[in-house]
Structure formats: C-alpha cells, structure tokens
A and B are shown apart, each in its own frame.
Chain A
Amino acid sequence: MSWIAWKMLTGDRSKYMGIIFGVTFASLLIAQQTSIFCGLMLRTTSQIRDIRGADIWVMDANVQYIDDLKPLSDIELYRVRGVSGVKWAVPLYKGLSRARLEDGNYQQVILIGVDDATLVGAPEKLYEGSLSDLRLPDAIIMDRAGYRQLWPGEPFRPGRTFEMNDRRAVIVGICDAQPTFQTFPVVFTRYTQAQRFVPRERKLLSFVLAEAEDGIPTSELCRRIEDQTGLRALTGQDFAWKTMVYYLTRTGIPINFGTTVLLGFFVGVAIAGQTFYTFTVENLKQFGTLKAMGLSNARIVGMILLQAVTVGAIGYGLGVGLAALFGIFTQNRTKLAFYMPWWVLVGTGAAVLLIVVVSSLLSVRRVIVLEPAIVFR
C-alpha cells in the first residue's frame, strides 16, 4: 500500500508543493526563532567566554551572574593563592564606567581590568595594535563593535583618546569581543589603571582568576578553594550556565524575547499542522473508500504516517537548511543574535515530526469510525 500512499501524496503537484512549503516554512520559523533565542542567551555569557586564559573564576559566594558584582577585599587574592593546587591566581576588575568623548557626549562602557603583570584575561585576538601596548600609560583596548558604535564609519586611529572619570584613556588596540547582552562597548585595561578610571571605591577586586596545577582536576580545585576561602569557585562553563539560568529564571528579558520566539514556534506549529490536517481531511473520502473495500485501520494509519513522515522529513531538511543560511547571512552583516546548536536541529525535527504526525492522526479519526456518509456521497 505504500506506493498508493506515495502517489496520493505526490499525485497533485501543486498540493504537494503547498504541503512541503508549509512544513518548510514552519521548520524555518521554529529553527530560526529558537536559534535567535539561543544567540541571545549566549550573549548573556559572552563576557565570561571572552575572558580567556584561566580555568577558574573565584567570586563572592552570593554572586548570581556575571554582572552581579560583589567586590572582594584584596586579601582574598592572597587567600586563593594560598590554596594548595593553585598554580597561579590573578585579579580581575569588571565594572561600568562612563566614557566622555571629544564632542562632549557620554557613553556607558564595560570596563575590564586585567592583571598588570600577566595580562591574563586580556583579549587574544587583536585587529589593530598589539597587546603589549596595554602596558603604556593610560592605555586601553576597545572591542571593534564598540569602536564602531562610538565613532561610526571612522577608521581606527591609534592614540585616539577619550575620558573616563576625568582621566585620559588612550586607545592602543582594537580587539574582537563577543556581542554582549547590553551591547555596550567593552574596554580592556590593566588592573591598576582600571582603578583610576572609576570613582574611588573601597574594594575593586571583582573576580579572582585561577588555574590549577598540572594533574589537579579543575573541579577538585574549585572544591578546595570553596572549602578554604568560603568564596565561590566555578569553571568558566559553570559560571556561564549559572549566568544563563539567572537570566532565564530571574529577569523578564528572556520572557520578552521568549514570547516572540514562542509566537514564531506556534505560528510554525499552526502552519504545519493545519497544512497536513487539511491534506488528510481532503483525502478522507479516499481513505473511507479504501476502508470500505477492506483496508484495515492499522494499514490506513500506516499510510498516513508514511505521508506525514515523508512531508515532515523533506520540509524539515529544507527548513533548517534555510534557517542555517539565514544565520550565516545575518551573522556577518547585522547585530542579530543567532546560535544554532545541534539540539536546536534535533528539537526542531522532533517538533515538526510531532506536529505532522499528531495533526494527521487527529484527522484520521474520522476514517477510523467510518461514516457511510463519507463514502456514499
């Protein structure tokens, strides 16, 4: 009977194309919207992922996410260094500052101060300048997106200055940085320099970055640091998760974006479901006729499932393909967040399959309880 199912599905070219289009569009919508959501969530952690070169983040025990700054006293740095198994530990300052530009305008920036001696946490990929210039007086490195935001259309000019906390800041390099959630420019400088770029505060030590000695597992060292200092020690990945979970559960931001995403999802569900439901309903008389002629319910359901899976697979393939193209196309040209991990693909596939199967089974109910009116008409 499968050849009959196949012919029923593809016999009417334009109808067939219509169904494929519907399911493709639904897959595209679901995959693309979910990827945008993933991209946004990823942005909440971009500052954690941008600080490279250290395995472990040590912070106040009550810190919930990357921007939840609860400065430590300087002594904590030495206590971390005192934990056995710590290869090295360096300070990291993270905070917000206001940049005052030449034209008198102000712009909020994210200020990151890295260890003076080792520059651990400084950006690895520079488009302009060199990292060692960060050791020059008043030197800072700015991320490329931030530079473009402050001075749109202008080329990088080494030595360009602006002010933070009435102190002169000199741009010595342009780096790559992942887009942040707030999309503020990111400014890297030395730890001691950062202290001058912000109003006088009692404690400036936002985080301690540490690395384990060879042969000591990171998780083990995290436990030791927590036991001995009472601070919280997390791997970068765990800290990223913690931050993401915080944004997901405690802020309205994902809800707002999530509603849009969910809307896209439901529109996709509606389109795919409606398309295939209509298709099966239109074929009710044919299925009814087959059933009158002795085709069992199981085989009818089998035929419809075959049609559903065929349409689902083709539409899914085209849909996620288009979504991926969309991602590639927009990522290089716009600020749109887009991240399509493998489970978005799997999830979209499962959703699409579920939709077509459920909608076809809903419509087949009327064949199962065969009404003579369906065939004798």
Chain B
Amino acid sequence: MVRMTSVVQAKTVVTCRNVTKEFGQGEARVLALRGIDLDIFAGELTLLVGPSGCGKTTLLSVIAGILDPTDGEIVVLGTDLRRISNRQKVQFRGENIGFIFQQYNLLPALTAVENACVPLVIGGLSKREAVQRAGRLLSEMGMGSRLHAMPSQLSGGEQQRVAIARALVREPKLVVCDEPTSALDAHTGQLIMELLRDIALQSDRAVVVVTHDARVFQYGDRIARMNDGRIVSIETNGNSREL
C-alpha cells in the first residue's frame, strides 16, 4: 500500500521555513502557527494530522497560497509566495494547485461534468472542450454514467469524486485536501483515499491531506503530526522521527 519513495531523490514541491501565523491583535491574538518547518515532496502523499484547532487548516491555506503567513518563508514549486502579488497568486493557484474540500464545495447549479470542468474554464478553455476533457477524467474514475447528474442527486462519495476530478482536471503539481473523508462513512472514506493514491498521486505531483481520521493514516507516505501550532513529529514510511 505505501509507496517506497526515496526522500533524497524526490523533488521538493513545498518548503516551509519558520512559518508563523497570527490572527487578531492584543487580547484576542491567536498564534495559529508557531514556526513551521516542513518539506513536501512530489510523488508523496503527506498527511497533516493533529487535534482540532492545532493549525492544520491554517497551514494548508498558507501552503496553498490563500493565506499570507505572518512571518517565515514559503516556497511552492520554486515560487516564493511572499514575492508575488495577490493577482499573481490567484493565477498561480489556478495553474498549479488543486483543491479538495471536506464539504466538496461543488456548485449546486452545475452538473457533475460541468463542475469538474470549471478549472479549465477558469484557465480559458471553451466550455465544450472543457466539458469533454472533464468527462473523460470522470469516466476514468467510474463516474461515466453520472456525468449529467446534479450534485444534489449524487451520494457524498460520488460528489467527492467529482471534486477530485475537478482538482485534477488542470493537472496541477500540488493537490491540497482538507478533511476529504470526514463527511463520509469509513468505507467510502477509504475508497476516496485509494482514489487519491491511485489517480491524484503521480511522480511529479504532491498530495497534502489534512485529516484527524486515524483510519486513513495508512495511506500517507509521510505523516506530519501537529500540536498547538507546531509540528511535533514527522513519520516516513512508518519510521517515526521525533522533533
């Protein structure tokens, strides 16, 4: 199940150095990230785990370029996110990062295939071409018969599959997932994790999954444990390394 990857050879997709994030000011100040050092590699599925409120979503948002860190260095695919404008960041996300959400975040008014093709439309493809490509991808994922179903007509697992197709359709180099299985039952959750490993994970693509679901830990190549805004340990291929 766990893929053997050589840490030394793997290409670094994300580098975090001493990343901190503060919310609020004065009395209400919250230190969500207190100095994160983390590397994420292509070809690996990295799990971010830890108790509620420890900063997992915050770290994922920083990595994905939708939240600016208060301090520290964050480099994604060779781009220093602190050095590009917000406008460039939006474009960078579109071209390089796929998103998978706990609540799927599908547009309820679009069919499955229309939802899956949205990133291509954002990228400038015509609707027709985008739908064609998204349809092919969905079919590969076993959703060929549900292309024109509305999200409300799909089960949770099917909706998450559409969301995965949407995250992958523009072939990003980094896929970030926030609790992709916690709205699903155990069995469906495992199917989704297998799908992420089989289809999302590629030698030139990194997948980061935030989870507190112990049942999916087995799918990670690397498990970063967080507590109170810090990474307390990183395990690779079953070998734990205390920090």
Chain A residues with CB under 8 Å of chain B are 1, 3-4, 7-8, 10-12, 285-286, 289-297, 299, 370, 372, 375-377
Contact = CB atoms under 8 A, between A and B. Distances in A.
A68 B114 CA distance: 71
A294 B101 CA distance: 15
B103 interface: yes
A3 B127 contact: yes
Given A372-B58, A375-B101, A376-B102, A293 B110 contact: no
Contacts of A372: 57-58, 61, 66-67
Given A8-B109, A11-B109, A293 B67 contact: no
A289 B105 contact: yes
Nearest 9 Cβ contacts at the A-B interface: A294-B94, A11-B109, A372-B61, A289-B105, A7-B109, A294-B93, A376-B178, A295-B122, A376-B57
Nearest to A289: B105
B216 to A, nearest CB: 18
B119 A293 contact: yes
Given A1-B121, A1-B122, A293 B99 contact: yes
B contact face: mostly helix, strand, loop, or mixed: helix
A376 B127 CA distance: 27
B66 A293 contact: no
Nearest to B127: A3
B90 A376 contact: no
Interface in B5-34: none
A354 B170 CA distance: 38
Contacts of A4: 107, 110, 114, 118, 121
Given A294-B91, A294-B94, A296-B91, A370 B66 contact: yes
A285 B108 CA distance: 11
Nearest to A293: B119
Interface string B41-74: 0000000000000000110110010110000000
A227 B213 CA distance: 96
Contacts of B108: 11-12, 286
Contact of A292 (B87, B99, B114): B99
B90 A294 contact: yes
B95 interface: yes
Contacts of A296: 87, 90-91
Q: Which of A3, A289, A291, A294 has the most CB of B within 10 A?
A: A294
Contacts of B99: 289, 292-293, 375
Contacts of B118: 4, 290, 293
Contacts of A289: 99, 101, 105, 107
Interface residues of B, number: 32
A contact face: mostly helix, strand, loop, or mixed: helix
B144 interface: no
Contacts of B238: none
Contacts of A293: 93-94, 99, 118-119, 122, 166
Contact of A294 (B58, B102, B123): B123
Contacts of A285: 105
20 contacts: A1-B122, A3-B127, A7-B109, A10-B109, A289-B101, A289-B107, A291-B90, A292-B66, A293-B93, A293-B119, A293-B166, A294-B92, A294-B95, A294-B119, A294-B122, A296-B90, A297-B87, A372-B58, A372-B61, A376-B102
A293 B166 CA distance: 10
B64 A7 contact: no
Contacts of A10: 109
A299 B123 CA distance: 12
Given A375-B101, A376-B178, A292 B107 contact: no
Interface in B143-164: none
A297 B90 contact: yes
Nearest to A10: B109
B109 to A, nearest CB: 2
Interface string B80-124: 000000010011111100010111010111100010001101110
A101 to B, nearest CB: 69
Nearest to B91: A294
B109 A292 contact: no
